[in-house]
Amino acid sequence: MSEPAPESIERYIEEQRALVDGELERLLPPAAEFPAVIHQAMRYSVFAGGKRLRPILCLESGRLFVAQDGLLPFAAAIELIHTYSLIHDDLPALDNDDFRRGKPTCHRAFDEATAILAGDALLTLAFEILSSCGRVSDARRILVIGDLSHAIGTRAGMVAGQVVDLETTGRPTDARTLEFIHSAKTGSLIRAAARAGALYVGAPDDDLARITLYGERVGLAFQIVDDLLDVFGSKESLGKTAGKDGRQRKATYPALHGVAESRRIAERLASEACEALEPYGPRAAKLCQIARYLIARKS
């Protein structure tokens, strides 16, 4: 599969990020709208930074099948769900973090009650957007909403991963449980983002299965790299506190498998993600390049 040079994929991702940011700006209530503090907090966390990986995957997977732009509000809604999860993950009762996306966390910049409500509000707004925006049949819209809801819930979804993560912190954790935590906590939303694009454009089952495999591999690889960055990254490069996993005695890939093996696993997963899309040839080059870019990232 012919792939664009890394510098061109970086430029492409930057362009897509700007597209998503424009849509987020359009969809979020203005900061001054009553009651202003909640809209300020929502906007603060959404626009604090962020790679916009999940919306970009959603857009790109839709484009693999059909050239269209009606998917943009769906992609932006996925970023709102992701930002909700970050705000709640940073709360004192969960990870108790002071920095996110290079800035004080939402509960530090505002207060804990506002941060909880801002997370709730972003999650709720996401589903309002998913149910009303875009140009898609009701049947496909419902498929995407159902799929995303499942991905962030308690049945092998994001909340399930977070719960098992909390339960296992400080305890010996086997490889299977660790894979479950990472795939559920982080992988399931990434997988659902990739699936959302394909579902939105009505991709047939065979195509959906390939995109699902791609999203699954990218999602797990992404969290393994996140574990590695926690060991080797700095607060400046990551925009969040580094070295926390070790201090909290969290189950991570480097802790269980070692650094070199964790990197090998992430690289193998990225290759498997690309292989899943081989039937599409050069059309899938961007998705493949994004998978490789994500495991080489430094933030």
User: By the criterion CB under 6 A, which residues form the site for ligand GRG?
Assistant: 49-51, 53, 82, 85-86, 88-89, 101, 158-159, 162, 185-186, 223, 226
Residue 128: CB minimum distance to ligand GRG, A: 18
Residue 245: CB minimum distance to ligand GRG, A: 11
Closer residue to ligand GRG, CB minimum distance, 51 or 150: 51
Task: Give bridge partners of residue 81 from the DSSP assignment.
Answer: none
For 169: left if phi > 0, alpha if psi spans -120 to 50, otherwise beta; the answer is beta
- Among residues 280, 126, 260, which one has the least CA distance to residue 207? 280
* CA-based R_g, the chain, Å: 18
- Among residues 246, 239, 249, which one has the least CA distance to residue 86? 239
Residue 193: CB minimum distance to ligand GRG, A: 10
Q: Supply φ then ψ for residue 230, to 5 degrees.
A: -65, -30
Closer residue to ligand GRG, CB minimum distance, 134 or 233: 233
Q: How far apart are CA 182 and CA 159, in angstroms?
A: 11
Closer residue to ligand GRG, CB minimum distance, 205 or 236: 236
Closer residue to ligand GRG, CB minimum distance, 11 or 244: 244
Q: Residue holding tokens 């400080």?
A: 170
Q: Residue holding tokens 């060991």?
A: 231
Structure tokens that stand for 143 in this block: 């498929």
Residue 220: CB minimum distance to ligand GRG, A: 11
Closer residue to ligand GRG, CB minimum distance, 183 or 223: 223
Residue 21: CB minimum distance to ligand GRG, A: 12
Closer residue to ligand GRG, CB minimum distance, 120 or 275: 120
Q: In 3-state terms, what secondary structure has residue 202? A: coil
Residue 278: CB minimum distance to ligand GRG, A: 26
Q: Show the CA angle centred on residue 40, arms to residues 38 and 46, nearest 5°.
A: 105
Q: How far apart are CA 126 and CA 152, in angstroms?
A: 12
